Structure 1
Amino acid sequence: MALTLAQRNQLRKRAAQEAAAAAPAALMEGATGYEVMLAKLQQDQFRLKQVQSTEGKAKLKAELLPEYVPYVEGVLSAGQGAQDDVLVTVMVWRFDAADFDGGLQIAEYVLRHQLLMPDRFNRTTGCLVAEEVATAALNAQKAGKRFPLETLTRTAELTADQDMPDEARAKLVLASAREQLALVNEEAEQLNDADVGQLQAGIAMLQRAIQLHDKCGGKKDLERAERLLKKHAGPAS
């Protein structure tokens, strides 16, 4: 059952008050509002287990997520960084439901306060954030679709100082490089300064991705980008 406006406001205020009262690195356990949301999360996780399709799970998560918005808003507005399994799980669900900006909104708080992922997740928080966005972008690109470069850039900024396997970071750099190169007008007879700048930036990113992980899949992209740059550079350069 959907919450009324009054119930949403009450939940937001309670979440803010309890999050503000919990010390950094403490646990939210014992806070009444948190316990209510944790119980709801467990019920929703049981519902998700009944769905076998990954696409079906993502659709169900998208339907469930609005019910967590007041709680999330309350914690983000006043939280002091107490460990919160509801918040980090909702972050992942937002990524799964393709709400990447919403997921990164939570990720900014989670990474700043070094919140941990629940035991069922096998990756560190920073690695998970980088890989969730990067994998979605790479899948979209394989399907011939675009992915917002600003979302990739924000993800890279948020996870820049996070420890993760080089392969994971390479995925993010590769996805960013491909979106950077997609901005270049390859059909133009002569590239303008903006196109050349985009092309050079994309090449640098591809080189970095390959340096991080030699088998990241960016070598053909790099060869094509370097040929394009050479073609438009001209003999004088």
Structure 2
Amino acid sequence: MALSPAQRHSQRVAVQKQLERRQAVESLDSLHIQIQALNQDVAYLRDLPTIADRVTHKRDVLLPRWLPTVEAYLESGSVFVHPVFAWCVVWLFDAGDLDKALAWADIAIAQQQPTPDNIRSSFPAFVADQVIAWAENTLAAGESIEPYFTRTFENVTTRWRLHEEITAKWFKFAGLLLLRDDNGQPRATAVDDVETLEKAAVLLATAEKLYKRVGVGTMRAQIAARLRSLMKEQ
């Protein structure tokens, strides 16, 4: 039976109060009201002037507001298209909570959840791009990218069906990672271990096989030259 305008208003007020108290909103009947509230939050977020402001708002306001509702959804065992869940996965990456972001992304992918409307890629492609961008920034800061890099690399190469260009980018990154010198730059001459060079060569060859324009030809030639040089020294 359809709700009266007064009942709908009461439901909206109840949902808003639960969200303000950071309580879970579990009623399926209120899903459309949840989505209305979510859309308002997204619109407010987009009006914030800086990226830093948006990240702070996601971490300090939106995630605490919505996480209980998503946790209740996940605990229920029900599976349906859940825009709140999808947005929370995105916000977790933006907020830098990779542990929860990757755990929930795995669930979203298993449930075939669509990404929010402003994200054109699927969740596997979104996660692949997010983690490799994070890895690049983290390496530049001199910090470890594990265990998140290896975990996602395994998904990219063995579980997810992605466009060849994305997968090639990951093989390239993994190959160059083995060649980093003391300054963090990939350089074949910085590596003395034949096994490491051969492993990097295989990774880069795989990248080029997947996507010709991935841009590893020069490095592959340098690895080959380095291997020849090391063999002569033996």
Same fold (TM over 0.5): yes
Is 2:45 the partner of 1:48? yes
Identify the range of structure 1 (165-174 vs 58-67) with the bigger mean alpha-carbon deviation.
Answer: 58-67
Runs of at least 5 residues in structure 1 that lack an aligned partner in the other structure: 19-29
Contact 1:176–1:205 (Cα < 8 Å) also in 2: yes
Between structure 1 and structure 2, the one with the greater Rg is 2
Which residue matches 1:110?
Answer: 108
Which residue matches 2:177?
Answer: 179
Which residue matches 1:128?
Answer: 126
Classify the secondary structure of the residue corresponding to 2:206.
Answer: helix
Counterpart Cα distance in 2 of 1:31 and 1:180: 53
Which residue matches 1:21?
Answer: none
In structure 2, which of residues 202, 206, 209 is the aligned counterpart of residue 208 of structure 1?
206
Runs of at least 5 residues in structure 2 that lack an aligned partner in the other structure: 1-16
Counterpart Cα distance in 1 of 2:64 and 2:219: 39
Counterpart Cα distance in 2 of 1:158 and 1:219: 26
Which residue matches 1:155?
Answer: 152
Higher relative contact order (CA 8 A, sep 6+): 1
Identify the range of structure 1 (162-171 vs 224-233) with the bigger mean alpha-carbon deviation.
Answer: 224-233
Counterpart Cα distance in 2 of 1:144 and 1:231: 32
Contact 1:135–1:171 (Cα < 8 Å) also in 2: no
State how many pairs are aligned: 211
Deviation at residue 130 of structure 1 after TM alignment: 1.3
Counterpart Cα distance in 2 of 1:129 and 1:112: 13
Deviation at residue 99 of structure 1 after TM alignment: 2.7
Counterpart Cα distance in 2 of 1:211 and 1:179: 19
Q: Map 1:51-66 to 2 at 5 A.
A: 51-63=48-60, 64-66=62-64
Contact 2:179–2:191 (Cα < 8 Å) also in 1: no
Counterpart Cα distance in 2 of 1:66 and 1:183: 41
- Shift in CA distance, 221/233, structure 1 to aligned 2, threshold 3 Å: same
Q: Output the aligned Cα RMSD.
A: 3.7
Counterpart Cα distance in 2 of 1:114 and 1:61: 24
In structure 1, which of residues 116, 119, 138 is the aligned counterpart of residue 117 of structure 2?
119
**1:98-147 deviation digits (Å, cap 9, x = unpaired):** 33332211111011121222333211222112122223323555x46455
- Shift in CA distance, 119/45, structure 1 to aligned 2, threshold 3 Å: closer
Contact 2:197–2:223 (Cα < 8 Å) also in 1: yes
Contact 1:149–1:180 (Cα < 8 Å) also in 2: no
What percentage of residue pairs aligned between the two structures are identical? 24
Deviation at residue 86 of structure 1 after TM alignment: 1.0
In structure 1, which of residues 91, 94, 100 is the aligned counterpart of residue 92 of structure 2?
94
TM-score under structure 1 length normalisation: 0.69
Deviation at residue 224 of structure 1 after TM alignment: 4.3
Amino acid at match of 1:206: L
